[in-house]
Structure 1
Amino acid sequence: MKLLLKAVRIYDPSSAFHLQRQNILIENGIITSVGGNDQQADQTIELEDLCVSPGWVDLYAQVGEPGLEHKEDIESLAEAAAAGGFTDVLCMPNVQPIVQTKGAINFIKAKSAHLPVNLLPAGAVTVDTQGKELTEMIDLQRAGAVAFSDGAKPVQGAEVIVKALQYLQPFDGVLMNRPEHARLTEYGQMHEGIVSTQLGMKGIPALAEEVMVTRDMQLLEYTGGRLHFSLISTAAAVEAIRVAKAKGLQVSCDVASYQVAYTDHTLAAFDTNYKVSPPFRSEADKAAILQGLADGTIDAIVSGHQPQDTEGKKLEFDLAEFGIINLETAFAVANTTMRDVLSLEQLLDKLTSIPRQILRMPACGIAEGVPACLTLFQPDLKWTPTPESTRSKSRNSPFLGRELTGKVIGLVNKGQVVLNHSF
């Protein structure tokens, strides 16, 4: 099959055609021509202001299968990811049973082999993500785990962090950790501040993130290795990571694309769709995150996708589960809320090349003779996601019904074409 992408603007700094409008011809999943005058194809995609980049990579998403398929299964996650432009998604190990064996890694690989999205398994750092005994990370890496994290459960013990960093160094593995002190956040519902006091809700202090970032950085300096912080949310954490990078430590971090969309003031209506972890924080934290994105302190932008069923969300606020779905809206939310501080090129770097570098994935470019791994999008197209259009099994999102700027048109990956638009 021949697919022609006609007059698309190319966003790929490694390409000689970067920022140019060119034709791209794809035959049987391989890019055979870039910049030619090709006209004959089995299918032609042509839209005003259509752009193309190497496929996007998400460094943090929760999938329910196995064990929690009623929230999300592998097929629905892949459909949501494809609709959101992600050709590769790192899946956290928080399923039932935990992804901590070669069999669990092979299950994800086998179930997703035929799908257009690459689901990348993250192996658990500790047995049952309990933060005590290390898993057999070398065996998991050989089986196909591309990173190691306890996902939604932050690793608490300093001795565990030290051992894990040492354990991962022989194969240059990356330890990914959510920086949160569990005892300081116990029973917390939202960001600790004036609003939480006014609403009478137990707060989640910024300090809980900051002390763990500082501690883990000291441990990294002591042991060496590579450390990545997932879902940072506070000004002090951004500054600590900025200082660590200046020291030359191998540290990286990401932020959920929705983190600067709202602040703790939004929770005054007690809408559980705004209940996320880490929580929406203060205006000062929001400003610091935007600055960290602009100056490169924050390396990547992720979906932070955490599906929850209706029974977990339609409850009193203090009983409701944390999390929102965001694979389908991650780019649009970031493009809408961050465009004053990030150029489109900078935003795409945080979705493409930088995540690939963190996971030590092969480079992905737009060039003749290479397999097509592409995301198609219109950065200025306004659209409104709805519950009816959502591919995820869950509907826990504050963005349903909200107009966003930037629409994914489709992707080409693994010889498959997935389109959100009729041609």
Structure 2
Amino acid sequence: MKLLIRSVRITDAASPYDGQIKDLLIEDGLIRQIGENLEAGEAQVLQASGLHASAGWVDMRVASRDPGFEHKEDLNSVRKAAARGGFTEIVLLPNSEPVVHSKDTLNYIRQAGRGGLVNLHVAAAVTRKAQGVDFTEMIDLHEAGAIAFTDGEHSVQNADLLLKTIQYLQPLDALLMNRPEDHQLTLYGQMHEGVASTLTGMKGLPSLAEEMMLTRDLKLLEYALEKSPYNSGNPVLHVSLISTKEAVALIREAKQKGLPVSCDIAAHQLAFRDNDLLGFDTNLKVNPPFRAEEDFAALLGGLADGTIDAIVSDHSPHDEESKNLEFDQADFGITGLETAFAVANMYAGLGAGALVEKFTAGPRRILRLKPNVIEVGAPAHLTFFDPDAMWTFDKTLSKSKNTPFLGKVMKGKVVGVANNGKFEWYI
């Protein structure tokens, strides 16, 4: 493969070419030249107006449903959707059937993604079957290549278990990811607890459930560190999918105290409020739920000041039988791989450079992945995009269609991706 990409704006804060418009010559999976008016020779020449290039994007939270629920999504379809959304690396949650709590299941997934356009990283379960009772063999799973540990769609409820997990993983310099939700406070909840939930007559999911669990997790992290000689400087606890103003404040305070903590938000969390659920659209049923306007403002503040380290798709595919139901019977979750960038681009209030960092440098630092910099001789591990292009999301490559964005006009278009010597161009 030999490609010449003309007149592309490099958007990579770590690159010596950041902000400059250059030609990129890619050959045999490497960036061979960066310059102006490069000779094409035998290379295929590609160009597009408004084109940007960044390091390949990373999505830290994807449910693939494979193995076990391949009718909703499989490893092949999730990679296609990820590439179309601009992601060259994704982290898969362990909530499959069987749960990723053994090396066999872990290796099955890792092998499936080896050498492809999209790298598959696997987060292994903290507890067997992600049921919050018995520990998995975390050392073995870590040595087998688990990129992080989490019970994924299930929060770790037992405080002693979470504390011991932190203490267990610290000597390994391994990452614990947990979504803060006190299940006792959210039992039977359907949407954010507020005026809208009262008007619809549905039981609410109170912000308090997120804030209490997050307070607990941060206290346990601080307690564990006081008794530990290990300090790699990397985040020890990653808080997934924060959604409330108090959660943003708690993370900000923890970072100011020097705690090794990081966090992310789902891109779709920026696009809707709880009032949008008054129409009972099950495609808007997510957990954490869409919150109030004041929470949205706090999320924007957290993105702007660096409190929030990453933006994720929280891709959660479901078939018709799981979503085309009465609202209280439908499953939580939407698909998001193909729309995460455009949604964040429209609603996050960040410039292209700052936004790209939430999909590149932020996740790579948290996950202990090697830096990916656009420079001569580096692997061509790239995402091409136009932040100003308008397009209509009229078709999904996911097996599932549970998204509120189908048929919507979006701003911010992925133009192509390159990784592992492979390349796709979408215009």
Quick one: distance in 1 between partners of 2:299 and 2:367? 22
Quick one: distance in 1 between partners of 2:39 and 2:88? 26
Tell me which of 316, 328, 337 is aligned to 1:327: 337
Tell me which of 379, 386, 404 is aligned to 1:398: 404
Residue-by-residue CA offset, 1:8-56 (whole Å, 9 max, x unaligned): 0001112211100001101111111111523224311100110000000
Say which SS state the counterpart of residue 258 (structure 1) adopts. Answer: helix
Matches within 5 A, 1:87-106: 87-106=88-107
2:239 matched to which residue of 1? 229
Q: Which amino acid aligns with 1:324?
A: I
Count of residues paired in the alignment: 417
Say which SS state the counterpart of residue 359 (structure 2) adopts. Answer: coil
RMSD: 0.9
1:155 matched to which residue of 2? 156
1:14 matched to which residue of 2? 14
Quick one: distance in 1 between partners of 2:215 and 2:261? 12
Quick one: distance in 2 between partners of 1:227 and 1:292? 18
Percent of residue pairs identical = 53
The structural deviation recorded for 1:153 is 0.3
Quick one: distance in 2 between partners of 1:105 and 1:365? 29
Counterpart check, 1:55 vs 2:56: yes
Quick one: distance in 1 between partners of 2:56 and 2:325? 38
Counterpart check, 1:348 vs 2:356: yes
Residue-by-residue CA offset, 1:171-210 (whole Å, 9 max, x unaligned): 2111000000011111100000111011100100000000
Unaligned 5+ runs, structure 1:
none
1:197 matched to which residue of 2? 198
- Contact 2:9 / 2:51 at 8 angstroms: preserved in 1? yes
Q: Which amino acid aligns with 1:155?
A: V
2:292 matched to which residue of 1? 282
Residue-by-residue CA offset, 1:353-384 (whole Å, 9 max, x unaligned): 11000000001011111211000001100111
Quick one: distance in 2 between partners of 1:41 and 1:97? 48
Quick one: distance in 1 between partners of 2:35 and 2:142? 39
- Contact 1:87 / 1:117 at 8 angstroms: preserved in 2? yes
Q: TM-score scaled to structure 1, two decimals? A: 0.97
Counterpart check, 1:120 vs 2:126: no
Matches within 5 A, 1:171-320: 171-224=172-225, 226-320=236-330
Q: Which amino acid aligns with 2:82?
A: A
Residue-by-residue CA offset, 1:62-94 (whole Å, 9 max, x unaligned): 001100000000000000000000000000000
The structural deviation recorded for 1:115 is 2.3
The structural deviation recorded for 1:114 is 4.1
Quick one: distance in 1 between partners of 2:115 and 2:171? 32
Residue-by-residue CA offset, 1:302-324 (whole Å, 9 max, x unaligned): 00100000111100000001100
Q: Which amino acid aligns with 2:23?
A: N
Q: TM-score scaled to structure 2, two decimals? A: 0.96
The structural deviation recorded for 1:159 is 0.4
The structural deviation recorded for 1:404 is 1.0
Residue-by-residue CA offset, 1:140-171 (whole Å, 9 max, x unaligned): 11111011110000000110111100111112
Quick one: distance in 1 between partners of 2:278 and 2:192? 12
Quick one: distance in 2 between partners of 1:330 and 1:103? 31
Quick one: distance in 1 between partners of 2:153 and 2:46? 39
Counterpart check, 1:69 vs 2:79: no
1:26 matched to which residue of 2? 26
Quick one: distance in 2 between partners of 1:396 and 1:307? 7
Tell me which of 374, 392, 409 is aligned to 1:384: 392
- Contact 2:167 / 2:224 at 8 angstroms: preserved in 1? yes
- Contact 1:23 / 1:38 at 8 angstroms: preserved in 2? no
Say which SS state the counterpart of residue 356 (structure 2) adopts. Answer: helix
Say which SS state the counterpart of residue 418 (structure 2) adopts. Answer: strand
The structural deviation recorded for 1:125 is 0.6
1:140 matched to which residue of 2? 141
Quick one: distance in 1 between partners of 2:48 and 2:3? 14
Q: Which amino acid aligns with 1:382?
A: M
Quick one: distance in 1 between partners of 2:406 and 2:370? 35
1:369 matched to which residue of 2? 377
1:359 matched to which residue of 2? 367
Say which SS state the counterpart of residue 370 (structure 1) adopts. Answer: coil
Counterpart check, 1:419 vs 2:409: no
Quick one: distance in 2 between partners of 1:41 and 1:274? 49
Quick one: distance in 1 between partners of 2:410 and 2:365? 29
Quick one: distance in 2 between partners of 1:76 and 1:288? 35
- Contact 2:11 / 2:352 at 8 angstroms: preserved in 1? no
Quick one: distance in 1 between partners of 2:364 and 2:95? 22
Quick one: distance in 1 between partners of 2:381 and 2:42? 19
